[in-house]
Amino acid sequence: MTYVNISVENIESSDKGKPIKLIKFSGQLDESNVDESAKKIYKLVEENPEKLSLIFDFSDLDYMNSKSIGYLTDWYGRITGKDGKIVIAKAKENIRDILDVVGLTQLIHCYPSVEEAKLAIMTK
């Protein structure tokens, strides 16, 4: 299995009813690991059914395949459908490029830093 690591950090939120999680991906998301990795995020979504905000930190993500983009789109639909938000921070150029070609950057905003992503989540 290709190496990938997913870590989840709680971000302090002024509104207790609006949980914010910072999810950092390291490694590569491909066919060998994407289904197993996706389960962690689906679990998080199930545990926080309303107003969940996710910041995906892609600074150490080196590759993502079309299926992982499909999952990202699915999480976007589920979370925004329950008044939540999803943003991406620090995506490398090749990751940003692949998100662009499938049109996902029209749905999910990409920010150059985690701080800017947090600010966007908390203020918008």
Partner 1 sequence: MASEKPIHITITLPTNAYFLSGIRDFTLSLTKNLTGFNDQWAYRCQAVIDELCNNAIEHGSLPGEEITIMFISVKGEYIEFIVEDKGSNEKVTSADMNRLISERMSPTYEQKLGVRGRGLPQIVAGWTDEVEYTDAKPKGLRVRVRKYVKNTPGKKQNFMQDMTKNLALK
Shortest distance, position 70 Cβ to partner 1, whole Å: 3
Q: Which is nearer to partner 1, 60 or 97 (CB)?
A: 97
Nearest to 16 by CA among 61, 48, 55: 48
Per CB under 8 A, 1 contacts partner 1: yes
Per CB under 8 A, 113 contacts partner 1: no
Contact by Cβ (8 Å): 62, 92:
yes
CA–CA separation, 95 vs 58, rounded Å?
Answer: 8
Helix axis angle, 34-47 to 66-80, nearest 10°:
10
Stretch 69-108 residues interacting with partner 1 (CB under 8 A) = 69-71, 73-74, 93-94, 97-98, 101-103
Stretch 33-62 residues interacting with partner 1 (CB under 8 A) = none
Contact by Cβ (8 Å): 78, 54:
no
Residues that bind partner 1 (CB under 8 A): 1-2, 28, 30-32, 63, 65-67, 69-71, 73-74, 93-94, 97-98, 101-103
